[in-house]
C-alpha cells in the first residue's frame, strides 16, 4: 500500500518525475494499493501533466475554496463491501468538503 499524504499534489507529482509516476502506476496496476489524502488525492487524478492517472477524474474545484457539503453515495467493490461489513455495495457518507472531482 502506498499512502500519499496531504500537501501539494503538484509538488509531489513533479518531485516524482515521470519515472516515479510510472513506477507508482505500475505498482497500482500490478495489484498494489494507493491511498491519496488531500494532495495525494489530487495526484491520483488524470487532470494535470504531473498526475498519476490512477482515477478517471478531473479537478472541479481548482480554487479549492468553493467546496460544498452534503451526502455522497459511493459504490464499493465486492472487497470493499466485505471489508466495511456492509450488506449493500452502496454506501452514503456525509462529505464536509464538497465534491472536488468530476468525470
Vertex 6: Cα angle to 78 and 100 (nearest 5) = 65
Q: What are φ and ψ of residue 37, in 5° steps?
A: -105, 125
Taking all residues of the chain, what is their mean pLDDT, rounded to a whole number?
Answer: 88
Predicted local confidence at residue 35, as pLDDT: 92
Predicted local confidence at residue 64, as pLDDT: 66
Predicted local confidence at residue 13, as pLDDT: 95
C-alpha cell at 92: 452514503
Predicted local confidence at residue 70, as pLDDT: 81
pTM: 0.67
pLDDT < 70: residue spans in the chain: 64-68, 96-99
Q: Assess contact for 90 and 75: CB atoms under 8 A.
A: yes
Predicted local confidence at residue 99, as pLDDT: 47
Residue with cell 516524482: 16
Amino acid at each position: 500500500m502506498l499512502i500519499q499524504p496531504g500537501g501539494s499534489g503538484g509538488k509531489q507529482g513533479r518531485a516524482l518525475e515521470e519515472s516515479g509516476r510510472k513506477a507508482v502506476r505500475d505498482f497500482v496496476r500490478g495489484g498494489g494499493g494507493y491511498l491519496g489524502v488531500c494532495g495525494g488525492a489530487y495526484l491520483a487524478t488524470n487532470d494535470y501533466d504531473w498526475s498519476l492517472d490512477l482515477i478517471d477524474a478531473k479537478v472541479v474545484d481548482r480554487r479549492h475554496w468553493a467546496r460544498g457539503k452534503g451526502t455522497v453515495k459511493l459504490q464499493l467493490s465486492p472487497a470493499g463491501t466485505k471489508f466495511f461489513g456492509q450488506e449493500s455495495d452502496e454506501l452514503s457518507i456525509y462529505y464536509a468538503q464538497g465534491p472536488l472531482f468530476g468525470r
